Amino acid sequence: MPENKQPARFLGFDFGEKRIGVATGQQTMGTTQALCVLKAENNQPNWQQVENLIKEWQVEAFVVGLPLNMDGTEQPVTQMAKKFAKRLHGRFGLPTFTHDERLSTAEVREYLFELGGYKKIKDSDFDAYAAELILKSYFESEQ
């Protein structure tokens, strides 16, 4: 990617110790889409699955949700999310950003209700929708 070119296609991650939600988005169009939830062991996904998603969606950058307390202070999982972001960058060499995800859980519930209610969404997909909202929020903050 040329130095002056902004990344257009992103993967967004809602990091969790056992599950990592993944979404994709196009920053120039402002579009996002929940993709999947990856199982995590020892706070890490199957990196081959991540690589497959990067290739499939032609990703140019990552956004990792940063779980903070409501007062903005860090919690134990905040450091794990930062470490995950560093691992992503180290493995794949793509620009990696973190983004405050403090309200994502409440927003996901609201968003899923708009999509037709919780009954239509499996619990296992919840983290993917959280990743989508993190990405959407990141795009809005960058405009």
Domain locations along the chain: 9-142
β partners of residue 37: 21
Backbone dihedral angles phi then psi of residue 23, each to the nearest 5 degrees? -140, 165
Q: Given this model, what pLDDT does residue 103 score? A: 64
Low-confidence ranges of the chain (pLDDT < 50): 1-2
pLDDT at residue 3, as a whole number = 52
DSSP code per residue over 92-130 = H---EEEEE-TTHHHHHHHHHHHTT-GGGS-GGGHHHHH
Distance, in Å, from the CA atom of 54 to the CA atom of 120, rounded to the nearest integer, reads 28
Q: What is the mean pLDDT of the chain?
A: 87
pTM for the whole structure: 0.86
Q: Which residues pair with 55 in a beta bridge?
A: none
For residue 121, the model assigns a pLDDT of: 59
> In the prediction, which pLDDT does 15 show?
94
The reported pLDDT for the residue numbered 61 is 97
Q: Please state which CATH class domain 9-142 belongs to.
A: alpha beta
User: What pLDDT was estimated at residue 51?
Assistant: 97
Give dist(CA 70, CA 67) in Å, integer.
Answer: 9
